[in-house]
Homo-oligomer: A and B are copies of this chain.
C-alpha cells in the first residue's frame, strides 16, 4: 500500500482565507501579544512563523520577551489587546494556572483558561478550542468527512492536546480511546483504530506493529534530534502499512497555526460585541 504524506498547507490556506475575511469584516487589525523566551530556539522559530502567518491575514502579532521577575510578567500578561499568548517555556517563577488566569478567558486563545476548557468539556458550540486539537479534527474531517462511529486512538493525555481532543472527537460521535505512558499495552489499542493521533513527544513511538493496515496517522509530536525534527511516528517503519501519515513539522503544524489565528479573530470579534 502507498503511504501518503499529508502536508497541511492547503487546508491551512483555506482556513486563513476565512480568517482574512473575518478580519476585513471586523474593520480593524486584531492585536495579539506573544510573550516568549527568545533564548529558546524552538520558541523563537515558532514565534517568527506565527508573526509571518498572522501578518498574512491582517492580524498584528507583537512578540515580546518575558520580563525578568514575576511582578513584571504579571503586568505584561495583563497588557491591552485582543489576545495574549504565553509561549513555552514560561519563566519558572510564575505558574501555568496564574498565567491563564491573568490572561483571562476573553484574551486566551490557547484554550487554557478554565472557562474556555469548560466550554470544551460541556461541548458548547462556541467553545474556543486549543488550536492543535482543533487542527486534528479539521484534518480528519477533510480526510474522512463525518467522524461518526470512527474508531480513534489518541496517544498522550495532556491538558492542551490529548484531553480536549478526545472530547472534541466525542462531540463528533467518534469512539475514542485515550492511551498514555501508563497504558499497559499501547499496540493492543492503536492496532484496533482506524485513526491514531499521537501527541507524546516520544520520537518514533508509533511503529508498524502498532497499527492496522490502511490506518491514518496524525503526528502531533515534534522532537529535535541530531537527524533534525522528528515526530512520534517512525515513518520508515509504518511506510507501506499506513494509508496516510502527517508530515512533521508541516502536517498538523500549519493547520494549528491557522486555527490559532481563528481563535485570535474570534477573541477580537467577541470584544467588538461586548
Contacts and interface: CB of A to CB of B under 8 A. Distances in A.
Contacts of A149: 182-184
A155 to B, nearest CB: 10
A121 B179 contact: no
B123 A118 contact: no
B97 A163 contact: no
A254 to B, nearest CB: 26
B148 A175 contact: no
A170 interface: yes
A156 B89 CA distance: 37
A177 B190 CA distance: 12
A120 interface: yes
Interface stretch (A28-36, A108-116, A197-205, A216-224): A108-116
Contact of A121 (B117, B124, B180, B184): B117
A167 interface: yes
A219 to B, nearest CB: 20
Nearest to A183: B175
Contacts of A122: 112, 114, 117, 159
Given A118-B115, A184-B151, A192-B188, A167 B175 contact: no
A251 interface: no
Contacts of A175: 177-180, 182-184, 189
A119 interface: yes
21 contacts: A97-B124, A113-B118, A114-B119, A114-B124, A115-B115, A115-B118, A116-B118, A117-B121, A117-B122, A118-B118, A121-B164, A122-B159, A157-B170, A163-B167, A173-B181, A175-B179, A175-B182, A175-B183, A175-B184, A176-B178, A188-B192
Nearest 9 interchain pairs by C-beta:
A114-B118, A118-B118, A117-B118, A173-B182, A177-B177, A117-B121, A175-B183, A121-B121, A149-B182
